[in-house]
Amino acid sequence: MVLAEANTLKLARREWRFDHLAALELMAHLQHLGGPTRLLDVSVNPLIATWFAVERNEADDRFDGRLFAFSVDRRIELAPEHNGRFPRWHT
């Protein structure tokens, strides 16, 4: 899985010219374009979260959506070392 993810990042940077993006930002961008990633969609709006959880996929509608609710009372930010060019699990 790590090798496939690394190859996807290389392809996106080389072929689609997303070289200026950090790895996490690039994976998020690819996910929103329909690419496979291990990322979860997160929203502070429960209506938006519900829509994405139940959105119908005409090509493959065999799986149910999942909605998880978390209670956080502070903003969560990534440490700089986790927002680099390569995910830390690729090194």
Residue in the block written with tokens 């072929």? 15
**Encoding tokens for residue 66?**
């999942």
Rg (CA), the chain: 15
Q: What is the DSSP letter of 81?
A: G
Residue in the block written with tokens 């909605």? 67
Q: What is the pLDDT of residue 36?
A: 75
Quote the CA–CA distance of 43 and 28 in Å, as a whole number.
Answer: 13
Q: What is the pLDDT of residue 48?
A: 83
Per-residue tens of pLDDT for the chain, all 91 residues: 889 888 988 888 888 888 888 888 898 888 888 787 888 777 778 888 888 777 766 776 676 677 788 777 766 666 676 666 666 667 6
37 in Cβ contact with 27 (< 8 Å): yes
Q: What is the pLDDT of residue 44?
A: 76
Q: What is the pLDDT of residue 39?
A: 82
64 in Cβ contact with 46 (< 8 Å): no
Q: What is the pLDDT of residue 22?
A: 86
Q: What is the pLDDT of residue 45?
A: 81
Give the residue numbers spanning the domain of 51: 2-90
Give how many domains the chain has, as a whole number.
1
Q: For the chain, percent helix, then strand, then coil, each to nearest 5?
A: 45, 0, 55
